[in-house]
Every structure is written in structure tokens, then in C-alpha cells.
Amino acid sequence: MLAAFLLAAQVAAARTPAPAPEDRVQYFRDVTVAPGETVGDAICFFCAIEARGAVTGDAVAIWGGIDIAGRVDGDAVAVGGGIRLHGGSSLAGEAVTVGGPLEVAPGVKAPDSTDVRYVAMPGQRRIYWASALVWVLGHVLLVLASYALLRAARVGRLAAAVTLRPLLSLGLGLALFGVAAALASLPERLGRVAESAELAGGLALVGALAWGLPGLGLATGRRLRPAWTPLGATLLGVGVVAALSLVPLAGLVVYAVAALLSSGAPLAARRPRVPSYPLHPTYKLCLFAGVPLLMDNSAVVSYREGVHG
């Protein structure tokens, strides 16, 4: 009787599936899978993944890279970083990189891949010079095209709005982003109405950014080089803001503030006259945190004279 009971217990144990490995999720702290260790999915936000053991699911790093010295049975996705496969490693799924390269050691089977290495992400932890150069030049060319359409007088009004109405510009930019997000989240059952609304919201947001970015560039460039021409100061300012947005982690905050100011400036500049009041202390605090837009009184006067003189 006892032997029969033990035999039944062994059969039941053999039929019981092994527990699935636990997922590992981290924020601002690297995920390390040690040799001999097994995890399910490895997910990391604003940090990197080092897989020296086994990852039975996917490895996903947002604003970080992935180093694989063991094995990954699923996909590897790095947004704002690269993926490196060391000797003796394996990746069964697809490798997707945005803002960084895919590096495969000799003798390692190259996985199916989507490599978007020349599209940098603001604030990514590691700077790749090729993608950084494309990032900065792309913003400069965008502003050059916008400047040609807006002309110097309108860009001056936008710069005055960024400088003298920073909180209004930030608030309007935040509201515009909120409207675009609301339109993008409409229920799918609305069909073409939801698709059209999402497209309209996205186009309005992109248009506002492209419209207001020259004003942000001129405000920044005048602070750095007051004697430069408006076009030269605008291109300089945009290049500086784009470069600062690539500072690891902090660049994401810089770019978020710059995007809100740029998208809200066209609406803030629609008032008929720019008031001549001092800069708000909150705006100075934002500038101290990394956005070099603070202008002296002579620069503000030059704006007002250029716009209203």
C-alpha cells in the first residue's frame, strides 16, 4: 500500500509543470542576470540590461542598452541604446535598436534585426556620435525651413513670447499635448472618426512644434551671442538646445521643457503687444535646471524694438 502511494506521488510530481521563471523589472537600476540564473522577461526603464544567464522571455530596455553574454529566448528591444552580443551568446528572437547600434561578436549567429541607430533619443544614457550629429543637424535644418516660412518678425514675436510669457507658453504647450493625447486615445469603435481625429491632433502638435521652435532658438541664441544676426542666433540656439537634450537622463527634461515652450509659444504670441515685465522666478528656475534661455534686459529691449519699432 505504501509503495503504491509513493509511486502515485512520483507520477503526480512528474506531471506537475515547473514554475515559470519570474520576470525582472527595474527603474533607474540596471538589470543583471548572473551566470546560471534564469528569469522570464527582463524589463528596464532608464537603465541597462546585462544578460549573462538565461532570459526565457523578452529583454526590453527603455532609455538603455542590452549586453547579452548568455541567452535570450525572446526578442531584445533597446530604445535609446544599443544591443551587444558577446562571444558564446545567443538571441532567438529579433533585435530592435533605436538610437544605438547592433554589435555581434565574430562567430555568433546574427539575429533578425531592425536597426535604427541614427535616430537618437533625448536623454539616452550613452551618446553615439553618429546619431547625435544627425539629431542636431535634423533640428537645425527643420528650424532653417521654418525660419524661411515665418520670416524674422514673426520669429521675433515667438522669441518674445518664450522669454516674457514662459508660464503661459508652458501651459498652452501642455494643453496642446493633452488634446493630442486625448484624440489619440479615442475608442477604436469610432472607426474613421478616431483615425481622423488622431491624425489631426498629431499634425497640429507637429505643426506647433515646428512653428515655435525658431522662437525658442532665437531666445537661446540671443543669450549666447547677442551680436549675431537673427538667423545665425536662431540656428545656434536650436543647435545648443538639441545638444543639451542628449545629456544622459537630464536631457529628457530639457527636451520636454523645450517642446512645451515651442508648442505653446505660437499661441502665447497671438496677444497684440508684448508686455515689458521682468522674468518670472519659476522660469529662472527652469533655466538654471538646464535650459539656457535667460536673456538680459538689453536683449529683451532689442526684441521689443524689432517687433514694435
Q: Return per-residue pLDDT of the chain as tens, 309 residues.
A: 434 434 444 544 444 455 667 889 999 889 999 998 999 999 999 889 999 999 999 999 999 899 999 999 999 999 988 999 998 889 999 999 998 888 999 988 888 888 888 888 898 888 888 888 999 999 999 999 999 888 888 899 999 999 988 999 999 999 988 888 888 887 776 777 778 888 888 888 888 888 999 999 999 999 999 899 999 999 999 999 999 999 988 899 999 999 999 999 998 887 655 443 344 444 444 444 444 443 344 444 444 444 444
Tell me if 292 sits within 8 A of 240, measured CB to CB: yes
Task: Measure the CA–CA gap between 221 and 237, rounded to whole angstroms.
Answer: 4
Pairing relationship of beta strands 38-39 and 59-62 according to DSSP bridges: unpaired
